[in-house]
Structure 1
Amino acid sequence: MRAAVLTAYNSPLLVDELPDPEPGPGEVLVRVMASGVNPLDIKIRRGEAPHAQLPPPAVLGIDMAGVVEAVGPRVDRFTVGDEVFGMTGGVGGLQGSLAELAAVDARLIAHKPRTLSMAQAAALPLGFITSWEGLVDRAGVGTGQQVLIHGGAGGVGFLAVQLALARGAQVYATGSTSSQAVIRAAGAVPIDYTATTVDEYVAAHTGGEGFDVVADNVGGATLDASFTAVKRYTGHVVSALGWGTHSLAPLSFRGAAYSGVFTLMPLLTGRGRDHHGEIVAEAAALADSGRLAPRLHPTTFPLDAVNDAHTAVESGSATGKVVVEPNV
């Protein structure tokens, strides 16, 4: 098979021939039709994500959608010809999806949404799983709650907005001036963080009480702002980027809660993989009900142009999720 190989950190990916993988017990062999490119993939390529544990040489690509070509022992949920998707590799020493074929743990995948293309399906897993683990598993978002999503036009935030709306919440999302239309199109009330302070938008939208749930997809100063935007006593801040040094005083003085999300843990440890499969199945159900769709960059990339795909993400020129199609 052909695959894009990371031969050294901070170097272009090399498209090369590798032996075809074979599915082991509990695995299926998937012909990869689409591989979503995440900002984390860029950090891994540059050697800036030691938590992902993927030293070169390695095949990158965390998200994928494709067709089952073979089924290993002890797999009964999938058969040859099934269209599937999931967050399946590219970290922790697991082969990623920037390849024509991948042997993946069947616990991590679900049947692809019928109403979405392969490219759309491959754009969902990491962002949706991150959003589900924060909003549903940790914060239990439900009907009538006021939810603030930071970075609502981003790859994770755009999906988080749709998930919170599907759960019955009133959703608000921060973004730059240029992203207000995208946020509004996703169904949230847009907040231009460059033109209004935290205190001002908390006062305007919650009467000064604070949001029931605040989801941080930006980190740094935005996480600090989350601690002052959350509701007293019952509020809950969730973040997938709770790294670095932060003062918990604003959160503590509000009597609110904080939860961290580490989406890679099942891939790195093997624990919780069944739940990731369950979450992407929920994504498929929401997509097929018309309540979930990613925002794609208008151009997809063949495997030979994988470095152009990475450049689009790295440069910030992408206008939606970038997807590589290894078998095109």
Structure 2
Amino acid sequence: MKAMMINAYGDSDVFEAHEIAQPTLKPGYVLVKVAATSVNTVDTMIRSMGNELPLSPELPAVLGMDFAGTVESVGEGVTTFKAGDEVYGCAGGLADLQGSLAEYMLADARLIAHKPKSLSMREAAALPLVGITAYEGLTRAGVSKDQKVLVHGGAGGVGHVAVQLAKHMGADVYTTIGREEHVALVEQLGATSINYRQETVADYVSQYTEGAGFDVVFDSVGGANMLSSFEAAALNGQVATTVSMLEIDLTQAHFKGLSIHVVFMLIPMLHDFKREEHGRILTELTNIADAGHLTAILDKPEFGLDEIGQAHDRLASGQATGKVVVSV
């Protein structure tokens, strides 16, 4: 089969096309013919940082975590899928798991679900990592009906899904954006837009919560932006973050009594820990999508497998809207 591999860590030009053997089927796994995959920030981090990250695979490696495709065959013990089923998931591209930048991949049946019928292969391939991340963060924060929820980065990969899921959960949703062309997009998804370049945190907390703060802040930007999340949160509020690899002053969080939820959705893949939870969440996302409450926003440039380096560059440019998707 054809695969895009890396033989060294580095810039986006390290990908090389190779012919390699199809994965050998084993118990509990399914062999998937990959139709599409998507690029996540963690993919670019593995490619560029390599051994600095504890989750990077040994070289040579096939990267790519998300996928949508068709089941080719099922291993012993697999009863929930059969050949011909259309599936999606996040099941490779790190540690000892071959990724999705190939014509076929082996996927643990616990990590996948039946693809939403309402979404194309490309749309479905965009959802697994960001969908699981958004769902986990919002549910851990206990989002419920009529709460005021702030999503930082609502036009991004994780953010645009978090906006839709929070809306589906009955919340009153607001989201920060940095580009005027994203106003219509996030409002179409169900959120009130806040241009963080034009409004201070104090301004929008006053305008939208009468100074009380948001019940839940979902921070898909993270890093230093967590201080803005602490400022925007209500007393005893909830903050979920997807990027918390930094030293930060927690004084404000302390005096507000905030609960902080760090979401790192790769734990089941890395440690073989409760992998069935990912399958369960993906099944729930399928139901939400097919009920008309969740879609994937795809960045406009379309890439093929041979253009994976360009796809990585597109995501790294900061100009992408939604998810960068690659057809296989």
With the shorter chain as reference, the TM-score category is: over 0.9
TM-superposed CA distance for 1:307, in Å, is 1.8
Aligned residue among 41, 63, 66 for 2:69: 66
Cα-to-partner distance string for 1:128-182 (whole Å, 9 max, x where unaligned): 100111101x111110110000001100000000000000000000111333232
Query: Which amino acid in structure 2 is aligned with residue 18 of structure 1?
Result: I
The 1-side partners of 2:227 and 2:183 are apart by 22
* Cα displacement (A) at 1:302: 1.9
Please report the TM-score for the alignment, with normalisation by the length of structure 2: 0.96
**Which residue type is aligned with residue 3 of structure 1?**
A
Contact 2:157-2:323 at 8 Å conserved across structures = yes
- What is the match of residue 280 of structure 1? 282
Q: Which residue of 1 aligns with 2:99?
A: 96
Determine if contact 1:298/1:320 at 8 Å carries over to the other structure.
no
Question: In structure 2, what is the equivalent of residue 3 of structure 1?
Answer: 3
Moved more, 216-225 or 116-125: 216-225
1: CA distance between counterparts of 2:210 and 2:72? 56
Flag structure 2 segments of 5+ consecutive residues without an equivalent.
Answer: none
Percent same amino acid among aligned pairs? 47
> Where does residue 310 of structure 1 map in the other structure?
312
Partner letter of residue 5 of structure 2? V
The aligned residue for residue 250 of structure 2 is 248
Q: Secondary structure at the match of 2:235?
A: coil
Indicate whether 1:230 and 2:272 are aligned. no
Q: Deviation string for 1:168-213 (max 9, x for gaps)?
A: 0000001113332322222100011111111111111111111000
Partner residue of 1:118 out of 117, 121, 138:
121
TM-superposition CA deviations, 1:88-138 (whole Å, max 9, x none): 1111221010000001100000000001000000000011100111101x1
CA distance in 2, matches of 1:250, 1:61: 38
* Cα shift at 1:222: 1.1
Once the two structures are TM-superposed, the CA of residue 243 in structure 1 deviates from its matched residue by 1.5
Q: What is the deviation of 1:15?
A: 1.1
Q: How does 1:1-328 map to 2 (within 5 A)?
A: 1-11=1-11, 12-47=14-49, 50-136=53-139, 138-178=140-180, 179-233=182-236, 235-326=237-328
Contact 1:23 1:104 in 2 (8 A): no
Q: How many residues align?
A: 324
Measured in 2, the distance between the counterparts of 1:314 and 1:216 equals: 19
Question: What is the identity, as a one-letter code, of the residue corresponding to 1:4?
Answer: M
Query: Is the partner of 1:190 in helix, strand or coil?
Result: strand
Distance 1:204 1:35 in 2: 40
- Say if 1:135 and 1:141, in contact at 8 Å, map to a contact too: yes
How far residue 53 of structure 1 moved from its aligned partner, in angstroms, is 2.5
Measured in 2, the distance between the counterparts of 1:82 and 1:177 equals 39
Q: CA RMSD in A?
A: 1.3
Tell me how far 1:43 sits from its aligned partner.
1.3
